[in-house]
Amino acid sequence: MLLGLSCALLIVILDQFSKYYIMENILNEYGAISFTSFFNLVRAWNTGVSFSMFNDGGTTGTILLSVMSIVIICFLIYWLYKEKEKIIQVSLGFIIGGALGNVIDRITRGAVFDFLDFHIGEHHWPAFNVADSFICIGATIIIIHGLFVAQKKEEERK
C-alpha cells in the first residue's frame, strides 16, 4: 500500500507544481502559446469531468463532482489496501494522485486548470493536465494487466 500512496503523493506534487508553474510563469501574460504545429500550452478551466464533459453544472456541479471524486478515491484506496501486485499498486497510485490533484483544483479554484493542448490542424483534443495524464496511464495499465497478465496467470493455474 505504501508504494501506491507514495506514487499518489508524487503525482499530486507534480500536478500541482506543473499547474502553478505554467499558470504563474509561462502563461501569466498569455492565453495560449503555440510550441509546435500540433501542441500548444493554453489556459483552460474545466468545471466538468475528464475532457470537459458535464461542464455546465455551475457551483452545484463542482461540489457534486468533488464529492463523487472523493468517494471514488476512497474506494480506490480500499482497493489499494487489498491489492498485492506492485504494478496495480503503482497504477492505483497514479489514478488516486491524479484524482486528488483535480479535486484540489476544484476545491481551491472552483475548476480544474488544464493547459496541455494537442491538435491536428484546427481539430483540438480537449485540453488536459498532468493529473489527467496519470489517471489515463494508471487506468490503461490496469486494463492491459486485467486483459493479458491476469488472464495468463489464471490459465497457468489450471
Strands 123-124 and 39-46, how do they pair?
A: unpaired
Question: What is the rounded distance in angstroms from the CA atom of residue 63 to the CA atom of residue 71?
Answer: 12
114 is catalytic: yes
Where do the H-state alpha helices sit in the chain?
Answer: 2-21, 58-82, 86-109, 130-144, 150-157
- Calpha distance 68→21 (Å, rounded): 28
Known catalytic membership, residue 132: yes
Query: Is 34 in contact with 40 (CB distance < 8 Å)?
Result: yes
Of the candidates 15, 105, 117, 132, the residue annotated as catalytic is 132
Q: Which of 15, 105, 114, 117 is catalytic?
A: 114
Catalytic residues: 114, 132
